[in-house]
Structure 1
Amino acid sequence: MPTVTWSRLGGERRAAVVAAAEAEFAAHGFSAGSLNVIARRAGVAKGSLFQYFADKRDLYAYITDVGSQRVRFYMEARIRELDPTRPFFDFLTDLLDVWVAYFAEHPRDRALHAAASFEVDTDARVSVRAVVHRHYLEVLRPLVDDARSRGDLRGDADVDALLSLLLMLLPHLALAPYVRGMDPVLGLDDLSSEQPALVVRRYVAVLSAAFGCVCASLPAITTIEGEKHEQDTF
């Protein structure tokens, strides 16, 4: 957590430190990221960084939190527009499309997300993933709980397992189109305009089959062309 000195710092100086740290950690991650470079770009003495944060890992966790809040603010606004009271798996399809598009259009946040996901230092990885997962779960858990209350999920659905799968799926969808080899099966690293949307629909179909309400038939899955295909009944 930032120190009291950080909270007393002027807004422009704080913004300069954040911008410099985001650029350095996005480019090099925690282990290779340089506090000397951050201090120089921010226009502060290196020693000042230790007046603002306990150590390098503390600064890294804070920068991850800043970036996560930025993504969360955007996604929460889109969630309201998409109407989360719709049938859950239709809503989830559109939400994942928005998620993929966001990281396609925001390379800085994509780089920070990659740095947090691929960090090799165990303590730093635990720190930053805890930050990212907290934001994920604070948004996702109410959506999943509401879906279960409405009957969109099976009564015996393992909600924690669904949330765990979503925690794995979201970073994969954000990064796999830009990291060769992350998705050797579904071709998500094919940057054609349609491929990520096709993969999203295949993932949602699997989640719907595993967790969706058992009724006369499973929900129709809408393809990117707007056609509906009914899945087989149980």
Structure 2
Amino acid sequence: MPLKTFHNLKKSRKAEVLQVSYEEFVFHSYKNASVSNIVKRLGIAKGSFYRYFESKLDLYTFLTKNAYYLRIQQLGILLEDMSLDFFEILKENFRNKILFDIKHPLESIFLFNLFQETDTNEIALLYNNIKHEAINLTKNLVIQFQEKGTLNPLVDPEVAAHFVFQTQLGIYEYLSFSKEINFKENIKTGQKVFDLSEEEIMEVVEEFLAIIRNGLEIKKD
């Protein structure tokens, strides 16, 4: 995690370090990303960089946690809203994440890359930590609504949580494949991360939610 020297930087300089670092890992795999490229763009010596972070992995770990917690910060508000049912929480959570992706494209694609790069042991560990946290949270949510009598009690909560997690990833893979959206190219050329409107994206989300609903909702006679 960041060393004291990094924390002592001015806010604007911290933001610059993060932006350059995110760009390096967005446009290169973890293996091919280079600290040398980062320090060159920042105009600092390599030794100075290691006063900010202990290693490339240390930097990558911080970028991962920073992006992940930025992306889920609205979730707590949704979970506290007792008027929402399980599927409304999922829908609004998906919407918030899409809005995050539009506002923070670098952090968004960084996380998308992370989920594709699990062939590296260190990255696989980071991915698994995030996945376990997300699945445990969703599993507890499933149990909560099963106890309320609004979700099928016969469905294993952990299986349901895995399905929801994979469905969320599937939305982005679908948009990339079916809608031919090149996330990285859009960022590189200064375009929006999505070539679709929020309304068009939410139509896709609704289709995926319908599949989740079909599997988890209690069937009425």
Taking structure 1 as the reference length, the TM-score comes to 0.71
**Local SS of the residue matching 1:29:** coil
Instruction: Provide closer, same or farther for how the CA distance between residues 126 and 195 of structure 1 changes in structure 2, counting only shifts above 3 A.
Output: same
Unaligned segments of structure 2, at least 5 residues: 181-193
- Residue aligning to 1:220: none
How many angstroms apart in 2 are the aligned matches of 1:174 and 1:103?
Answer: 11
CA drift of 1:64 comes to 0.9
Contact 2:24 2:33 in 1 (8 A): yes
Q: Does 2:44 match 1:63?
A: no
How many angstroms apart in 2 are the aligned matches of 1:85 and 1:146?
Answer: 14
- Residue aligning to 2:188: none
CA drift of 1:211 comes to 1.8
How many angstroms apart in 2 are the aligned matches of 1:90 and 1:102?
Answer: 18
Instruction: Provide closer, same or farther for how the CA distance between residues 196 and 29 of structure 1 changes in structure 2, counting only shifts above 3 A.
Output: same
- Residue aligning to 1:228: none
Instruction: Provide closer, same or farther for how the CA distance between residues 14 and 93 of structure 1 changes in structure 2, counting only shifts above 3 A.
Output: closer
CA drift of 1:115 comes to 1.8
Q: Does 2:72 match 1:72?
A: yes
Unaligned segments of structure 1, at least 5 residues: 184-188, 218-232
The percent of aligned pairs where both chains have the same amino acid is 21
Instruction: Provide closer, same or farther for how the CA distance between residues 126 and 182 of structure 1 changes in structure 2, counting only shifts above 3 A.
Output: farther
Contact 1:152 1:213 in 2 (8 A): yes
The ranges of structure 1 where at least 4 consecutive aligned residues each deviate by more than 6 angstroms after the TM superposition are none
How many angstroms apart in 2 are the aligned matches of 1:60 and 1:160?
Answer: 29
How many angstroms apart in 1 are the aligned matches of 2:137 and 2:46?
Answer: 36
CA drift of 1:120 comes to 6.3
Equivalent runs, 1:46-195 vs 2, <5 Å: 46-77=46-77, 79=78, 83=81, 85-119=83-117, 121-137=119-135, 139-174=137-172, 176-177=174-175, 179-180=176-177, 191=196, 194-195=199-200
- Residue aligning to 2:187: none
Instruction: Provide closer, same or farther for how the CA distance between residues 137 and 100 of structure 1 changes in structure 2, counting only shifts above 3 A.
Output: same
How many angstroms apart in 1 are the aligned matches of 2:63 and 2:213?
Answer: 35
**Local SS of the residue matching 1:180:** helix
CA drift of 1:196 comes to 2.8
How many angstroms apart in 2 are the aligned matches of 1:52 and 1:91?
Answer: 38
Ranked by relative contact order (alpha carbons within 8 Å, sequence separation 6 or more), the top structure is 2
Instruction: Provide closer, same or farther for how the CA distance between residues 190 and 26 of structure 1 changes in structure 2, counting only shifts above 3 A.
Output: closer
Instruction: Provide closer, same or farther for how the CA distance between residues 97 and 170 of structure 1 changes in structure 2, counting only shifts above 3 A.
Output: same
- Residue aligning to 2:184: none
Contact 1:17 1:42 in 2 (8 A): yes
Count of aligned positions: 205
How many angstroms apart in 1 are the aligned matches of 2:165 and 2:27?
Answer: 24
**Local SS of the residue matching 1:11:** coil
CA drift of 1:162 comes to 1.1
Instruction: Provide closer, same or farther for how the CA distance between residues 124 and 196 of structure 1 changes in structure 2, counting only shifts above 3 A.
Output: same
Residue identity opposite 1:207 in structure 2: I
Q: Does 2:206 match 1:201?
A: yes
How many angstroms apart in 2 are the aligned matches of 1:122 and 1:109?
Answer: 20
